[in-house]
Amino acid sequence: MKTIPILIVVVCAVVATAQQPSPPKLNLMPMPASVKFQNERLPVDTNFRVATRGHSDARLEAGIWRFIKRLEGRTVLTLPPTLAPDDQTTPLIVNCQGPGKNIPAVTEDETYHIDITRRQAMLSAPTVVGALRGLETLLQLLDADRNGYFFPGVQIDDQPRFPWRGLLIDVARHFETMEVLKRNLDGMAAVKLNVFHWHLTEDQGFRVESKKFPKLHQLGSDGNYYTQEQVKEIIAYARERGIRVVPEFDMPGHSTSWLVGHPELGSAPGPYTIERRPGIFEPALDPTREEVYKFLDTFLGEMAALFPDEYLHIGGDENEGKQWDRNPAIQEFMKKKGIKDNHALQAYFNTRLLKILQKHGKKMIGWDEILQPELPKDIVIQSWRGTAALAEAARKGYDGILSNGYYIDLIQPASQHYVADPLPADSTLTPEEAKHVLGGEATMWAEWVTPETIDSRIWPRTAAIAERLWSPRTVNDVPDMYRRLAVISLQLEELGLTHKRNQEMMLRRLVRNEDIGPLRTLVSVIEPVKEYRRYQQRPQTMLSQLTGVVDAALPDSETARKFSWMVTEFLNDGPRYQLYRPELSQMLADWQSAGASLSPVIDRSPALKEIKPLAQNLTQLGSTGLEAISYLKLGIPPPRDWREQSLAKVEEAAKPYGALEFVVISGVKQLVNAAAEVKR
């Protein structure tokens, strides 16, 4: 190429990119703080090589090789098997100033800069972790046309908005294999999340080997726990990707599984068995006995040595204190010490815990409930309550992270998580106070996930949360987020994640056949019921296999979004009603016929019996929608009772079955209401 690179667009704030797309539509997520475009490109062909400049080490080199392997995977190119010399002909220079923190820390500098011209790409960063973040951005930048693969000419300046961007995985209610954790750590790195919050203990399971108290994992886990070697393997794997590992040992409640092997720690005599139900349970550690603190000192000392992160999460949530109320010795203790209620008793417990953590060199993090005046200012509050609680803590000088709004187990759409902001635009915190808001964490509570389904509950929605925590607040265009999320979702599967590929397998198993067409059509427009309604509507235990339609169905239906959008466009196009009419009619006709085709499929597969009403309602929704479109396109008013009857049918179809519900109800209603307004 003989053209001289010309800077054609200068966009400093990314708002512009998101809201008024600039010429090349980049599929970056999280969106960088600043992107400038240059009208040129750096080809990626079989000569593509990478050199390091400045600092290099094993972690950076491993990151570069993962980058190269993924680049090769996507392009099907075989690239040279060695790093290149640092000269002008090397396509990519990774210029790293220093190693950064030896152990990933909340104070890590994750800044990076990318400058791509037709001659060379330069990735500069003050730390190895910064460089790793930049490599992920580069992979997202990869583009192609008939001339080959290339990196577009861009200048990117990027750093995170918040330093604590986490994903909690509850491995206690359902155990997750090493493989699951590793592929999710890869996914986290791809969207620049930097904290793996490892929720290791619960009423339903104690998942980490304790050499000091082996009865904890031996009796509390059904054999499903991580050995200390495996824990080290995960920590090393995470460190390689610039991800902290914060372990959580939930106390004093949520602790039934501890008490199976150590009933003497409990506030009631026992014996205890591993809890198999979801919910909040009574067992709690006894905060009044010295041997409990002695035990915790030894146990937490062991764990503090195993987990290098400076924080250790002590849970502290949802202890209702019912065992405490019924235990005369505890009541006596409270009276003697002047502890007025269970909240104060838990505060006493936390103060004791804090001393133990300090002794072992750890800072404390816990859920909202732990916030109390006696605690020092270097603890972190994780808020399931919300930004108000977080702001309140910040005003008092406590660091905090937000999880309210990021409960991905509740099957809400990405758009809903996307608007939850740890520091909302209307925040009244002073800049000094605002610094206490460290970020947030998505929480994968595991009542209803297994290794087969967990990826589909985490991804791709968590990428939207990752963007909220990394990108400027002004990056908030929901349709553009969804456009990019669809691309990133495909890329996440490269890493071994199974959020897309497992669904068809699950449907094949359910229909006992290859031909999943009609069931797939149904599943594309239903979602599991939201919040905590699944258990109410379709009770199972932690021992049940999660292989039903509700498990195969995905949150945040793409088809439903498309339907809703087409309905809006179609109705806005009145009175012509041309826009998207064929696609819309086709979709509704597909529903109509899929519902009917499902009948023999259900007869052959009793596991599908629970969705029989959904199949009938799918046909109903399709028919009603088609009728409405007919009236609209012909300009003929429907009969007098038609609106009422049709809306009644649609309402009927809105009822959940098998803990599943249609997410296309409002679109069909819109069509009915519009048709009912047709005047002759």
Query: Which residues lie near a second copy (CB under 8 A)?
Result: 69, 72-78, 81, 144-149, 177, 179, 276, 486-487, 490, 493-494, 498, 500-502, 504-505, 508-510, 512-514, 540-541, 543-545, 547-548, 602-607
d(CA 366, CA 529): 29
Q: Which residue has the tokens 């726990």?
A: 225
Closer to a second copy by CB, 65 or 388: give it: 65
Beta carbon of residue 451, minimum distance to a second copy (angstroms, whole number): 8
Two structure tokens written together for 331: 């009541």
Cα 591 from chain centroid (whole Å): 30
| Helical ranges in 512-556 per DSSP H | 517-523, 533-537, 549-552
Is 50 or 510 the residue whose CB approaches a second copy more closely?
510
Provide the minimum distance between the beta carbon of 601 and a second copy in the complex, in angstroms, as a whole number: 11
Would you please indicate which residues are annotated as catalytic (active-site) residues? 318
Q: How many CB atoms lie within 10 A of CB 179?
A: 10
Question: Is beta strand 437-444 parallel, antiparallel or unpaired with respect to 399-402?
Answer: parallel
Cβ 27 to a second copy shortest distance, Å: 10
Identify the CA nearest to 618 among candidates 511, 508, 521.
521
Q: Which residue lies nearer to a second copy by CB, 469 or 615? A: 615
Contacts of 195 (CB under 8 A, 6+ apart): 164, 165, 166, 167, 243, 244, 245, 246, 441
Min separation Cβ 414 and a second copy, Å: 16
Q: Which two tokens stand for residue 112?
A: 């990076």
Residue 255 CB neighbour total at 10 angstroms = 26
Is residue 108 helix, strand or coil? coil
Q: Which of 121, 92, 114 shows the shortest CA–CA distance to 33?
A: 114
Q: Tell me the angle at which helices 558-572 and 665-676 cross, rounded to the nearest 10 degrees.
A: 20
Is 421 within 8 Å of 387 (Cβ atoms)? yes
How far is 550 from 139, CA to CA, in rounded Å?
Answer: 34
Rounded-to-integer distance, Cα 570 and Cα 645, Å: 23
Residue closer to a second copy by CB (options 237, 311) is 237
Q: Which of 89-123 are b and which e, b meaning 16 or more Cβ less than 10 Å from the residue's Cβ?
A: ebbbbbbbbeebbeebbbebbbbbbbbbbbebbbb
Minimum CB–partner distance for residue 502 and a second copy (Å): 6
Write down the least CB distance from residue 508 to a second copy, Å: 5
Rounded to a whole number of angstroms, the minimum distance from the CB of residue 506 to a second copy is: 9
The 3-state DSSP class for residue 145 equals strand
User: What single-letter amino acid sits at 202?
Assistant: E
In a 3-state reduction of DSSP, which class is residue 129? Answer: helix
Minimum CB–partner distance for residue 604 and a second copy (Å): 6
- For a second copy, which is the closer residue by CB, 176 or 441? 176
Nearest residue (CB) to a second copy, 16 versus 487: 487
CA distance 587 to 599: 19
C-alpha–C-alpha distance, residues 83 and 189, integer Å: 22
Q: Which is nearer to a second copy, 363 or 500 (CB)?
A: 500
> Nearer Cβ to a second copy, position 144 or 636?
144
Instruction: Please give the Cα distance from 133 to 110 (Å, whole number).
Output: 7
